Chains A and B, each alone.
Chain A
């Protein structure tokens, strides 16, 4: 028996419906996440229409063609998926989930499938199949760990990404994400946390006062400075929830003296488009780049956030001019660089507790950011421990792929999706769990609370803020 498998009682709690029966009936969608009311008529035709349009204006088709020819159903992915390992539900196997969409593609978009459908009288996509896709594709945390072990190279994360995109075009997407993106793209505040600029200024002033008192150094959050080396975009929720992370980052810049700024025109690194819609992904990425360009910045600097980093790193070049686009770096890359250059001093006697590092999937899976944070942590944490597996093969926090923002599915996230991670954390016995990602932090805090694990989830720069040393000249400032 798999030690990560949840009990029947836990399963019932995790999968409890979150919507009233009348809402389910009205929306014809028996899924746990909440959806805004949408046109429920003729869903299969509209789904196929959206699928066809997306295929026409994307690069998905050649990949799907390859995947349908390669798929061998070997089930190696099943032992990689933390959702399946915990739920034990065969429908949670990544290859099964992918087949839901590959089957639709095969039946409706390939000659063989269309002929077979005609001959066998198979009418193809049904409402029930759409409902199954709608449920299954949001049970997945899009962590892409399964893809690492697929001999056929099938990227189940890409298929989940595409399936969610198609669903969103017929109106099926988690309300929590849609509402945030609406505010970010069309709202008055222009960010996902709906923070108006005056509130941002108040927050930053408060943080600056706090830093002056605790560190005795004048540490600033420069605003709207043109021509800086770095234009900073954290997950905007950090301004509400991660004061220590932000103060740590500001402290690093205060120590190095490098130029950085935050733009009041746009200051949100979050990009939920990565989780459900390429159209939104593109629009948000363009906003980030436009603000950095407005400020004549030299680099786009993303804070501690996995998906924000990935969406900027990999999609700024895509949507903003390829090699002409501004370079994107993650704050941990910057911090490591200045640490190596000797421009950042960290006291090795401050953080003496057991520290473990959680790899956010979006920056680790492709091998981008794995060693950098470890080198930083080992430079000043005496008691650094490693969890297994880690790095490229890390286990998702259980809230990946945007699911962490869907509050109504918290029981699912902390009971099933995060179960394997919870056992990994528990086994490590760490006091501090470093998770340099806004989404991972929220999920892991809820996870350790619900799973009753005694450890504190922090950002990497939270610990840096504790240990950073300023020289006397800087302290006089």
Chain B
């Protein structure tokens, strides 16, 4: 068990973290590059950047969106995301690991807050899973990953909570820690290749949607020529 833990904490962590970081960086660069190219080709370069920026902010901090469409789902989703983002980044134990690893530390969450947020992430993650399966439209649209992700994402939270509160399962600490690390690493490795890539692409969405309607000029002829329709009547 100890060897497995060391493997998970060491090389496996470095590998999966690198996959995640490089994978996310790749899609971020591709996305930005695509947007720059689209802007370069656009016939109308008068882009309402301010409007796109305001819309982006509205979705990144979706307080105003919580009670619109599907209010229960939306609220649960927001609450789920709060813990999902804050706990891994600002948990005291995680920051300590970064400190010992790379010598960098930052502000941490108080233990109570971290516990509450962990529990809320677990609860709302389960609620989202139930919503996925139970809501007719959602369940119809869902792919496998849409159903699996809410469950997969709460595994490191459940095991992390157990490890952080040793009174729950003192004998199984190492086992739960191993599952905690491995499940997080699996998420790291899959993240850039699935819909969870939205964690880095989300801020760009409104800009993409705006730019996408800015077409390049003079495309009738090249399209017609390529399709052998040059001079062909409507």
Write the residues of chain A forming the contact surface with B, with a CB cutoff of 8 angstroms: 49-50, 53-54, 56-63, 65-66, 69-80, 84, 90, 93, 95-96, 99, 112, 147, 149, 151-155, 158, 169, 178, 181-182, 185-186, 278-280, 282-283, 314-315, 317-319, 322-323, 367
Contact = CB atoms under 8 A, between A and B. Distances in A.
B69 A80 contact: yes
Contacts of A185: 234
Contacts of A58: 215-216, 219
Interface residues of B, number: 62
A181 B209 contact: no
Contacts, number: 178
Interface in B4-29: 27
A152 B138 contact: no
Contacts of A280: 234
B205 interface: yes
B97 interface: no
B62 interface: yes
B215 A53 contact: no
B135 A153 contact: no
B233 A186 contact: yes
B146 A182 contact: no
A182 B233 contact: yes
Where chain B touches its partner, the secondary structure class is helix
Interface stretch (B34-42, B85-93, B174-182): B34-42
A53 B30 contact: no
Interface in B182-221: 193, 195, 197-198, 201-202, 204-206, 208-209, 211-220
B213 A69 contact: no
A56 B212 contact: no
A185 B232 CA distance: 12
A147 B140 contact: no
A65 B31 contact: yes
B201 A69 contact: yes
B108 interface: no
Interface in B110-160: 135-138, 140-143, 146
B209 A155 contact: yes
A420 B143 CA distance: 29
B45 A322 contact: yes
B172 interface: no
